[in-house]
Chain A
Amino acid sequence: MSTRKYDIKSLPGFLPITILCLVVLYAPLVVVTLYSFNDSTSITIWEGVSLRWYADVFNGPESTKFKIAAWNSFSIAIIAATCATTIATLAATAMIRGGRFRLRTVSFGLISLPLMVPEIVTAVATLIFFNSIGFTRGYTTILVAHIAFCIPFAYMPISARMQGIEDTYEQAALDLYASKRQAFTKILLPLMMPGIISGFLLAFIISLDDFIITNFVKGAGVETLPTAIFGSVKQGIKPNIMAISTMLLALSVLMVTISYFVSKKDNTK
Chain B
Amino acid sequence: MAAGAASGGSSQSDTYKEARGWLLLPAWAVLGVFVLAPVLMMLVYSFLTKEFRGGVIWEFSLGAYDQFFCNRGLFGDEPCSIEWTYINIFWRSIWQAGAATILSLVIGFPTAYFIATRPEKIRPLWVFMITIPYWVNLLIRTVSMKFMLRDQGPLNDFLISTGLIDSPIHIINTNFAVQLGLFYSYLPFMVLPIYASVERYNFNLSEAAADLYASKWVTARRILLPAVKPGVIAGCVLVFVPSLGSFLAPDLLGGAKNFMIGSLIEEQFKGNAGNWPFGAAASMVLLTMVLILLVVFARQQARAEKAQ
Tell me the smallest distance from the CB of B276 to a CB of chain A, in Å.
7
Given contacts A98-B17, A113-B31, A165-B9, contact A118 B107 (CB under 8 A): no
* A117 lies within 8 A of chain B by Cβ: yes
Contact with A along B120-146 (1 / 0, CB 8 A): 000010001111110111111101111
Given contacts A116-B290, A122-B35, A211-B139, contact A31 B147 (CB under 8 A): yes
Interface-lining segment among A51-59, A61-69, A145-153: A145-153
Contacts of B115 in A (CB 8 A): 18
* Cβ 8 A contact of B135, one of A32, A98, A256: A256
**In the bound complex, do residue A127 and residue B269 qualify as a contact, i.e. CB atoms below 8 Å apart?**
yes
A-B contacts, 18 of them at CB < 8 A, read A14-B110, A14-B111, A15-B114, A24-B184, A25-B130, A25-B184, A120-B265, A120-B266, A120-B283, A121-B39, A121-B42, A124-B42, A125-B42, A125-B283, A132-B41, A163-B8, A245-B137, A256-B135
For the residues of B in contact with A, the DSSP-based class is: helix
| A-contacting residues, B173-203, CB 8 Å | 183-184, 187, 203
* A49 lies within 8 A of chain B by Cβ: no
Contact with B along A5-38 (1 / 0, CB 8 A): 0101111011101101110111111011001000
* B161 lies within 8 A of chain A by Cβ: no
* B91 lies within 8 A of chain A by Cβ: no
**In the bound complex, do residue B38 and residue A29 qualify as a contact, i.e. CB atoms below 8 Å apart?**
no
User: Which residues of A are at the interface with B, using a C-beta cutoff of 8 A?
Assistant: 1-2, 4, 6, 8-11, 13-15, 17-18, 20-22, 24-29, 31-32, 35, 43-44, 86-88, 90-91, 93-101, 103, 107, 110-111, 113-114, 116-122, 124-129, 131-132, 144-145, 147-149, 151, 162-167, 170-171, 174, 180, 183-184, 205, 208-209, 211-212, 215-216, 226, 229-230, 233, 237, 241-242, 245, 248-249, 252-253, 255-257, 260, 264
Q: What is the chain B residue whose CB lies nearest that of A150?
A: B30
Given contacts A31-B154, A96-B11, A99-B14, contact A151 B206 (CB under 8 A): no
**In the bound complex, do residue B23 and residue A151 qualify as a contact, i.e. CB atoms below 8 Å apart?**
no
* B291 lies within 8 A of chain A by Cβ: yes
* Cβ 8 A contact of A147, one of B30, B206, B290: B30
**In the bound complex, do residue A107 and residue B14 qualify as a contact, i.e. CB atoms below 8 Å apart?**
no
Most chain A beta-carbon neighbours within 10 Å: one of B15, B114, B183, B207: B15
A95 vs B136: C-alpha distance when bound (angstroms):
31
Given contacts A97-B10, A121-B39, contact A226 B144 (CB under 8 A): no
| A-contacting residues, B262-299, CB 8 Å | 262, 265-266, 269-270, 276, 279-280, 283, 286-287, 290-291, 294
A66 vs B306: C-alpha distance when bound (angstroms):
54
A22 vs B112: C-alpha distance when bound (angstroms):
12
**In the bound complex, do residue B138 and residue A211 qualify as a contact, i.e. CB atoms below 8 Å apart?**
yes
* B95 lies within 8 A of chain A by Cβ: no
Contacts of A22 in B (CB 8 A): 129-130
**In the bound complex, do residue B114 and residue A93 qualify as a contact, i.e. CB atoms below 8 Å apart?**
no
Contacts of B36 in A (CB 8 A): 110, 113
Number of residue pairs across A and B with beta carbons under 8 Å? Answer: 290
Interface-lining segment among B60-68, B71-79, B244-252: B244-252
Contacts of A6 in B (CB 8 A): 216
**In the bound complex, do residue B141 and residue A17 qualify as a contact, i.e. CB atoms below 8 Å apart?**
no
| A-contacting residues, B141-163, CB 8 Å | 141, 143-148, 152-154
A164 vs B9: C-alpha distance when bound (angstroms):
6
* B55 lies within 8 A of chain A by Cβ: yes
Given contacts A24-B107, A113-B31, contact A128 B280 (CB under 8 A): yes
A99 vs B152: C-alpha distance when bound (angstroms):
61
Q: What is the chain A residue whose CB lies nearest that of B154?
A: A31
* B69 lies within 8 A of chain A by Cβ: no
7 closest residue pairs by CB, A with B: A99-B14, A118-B245, A98-B20, A129-B38, A125-B38, A28-B144, A94-B23
* B27 lies within 8 A of chain A by Cβ: yes
**In the bound complex, do residue B146 and residue A118 qualify as a contact, i.e. CB atoms below 8 Å apart?**
no
Tell me the smallest distance from the CB of A18 to a CB of chain B, in Å.
4
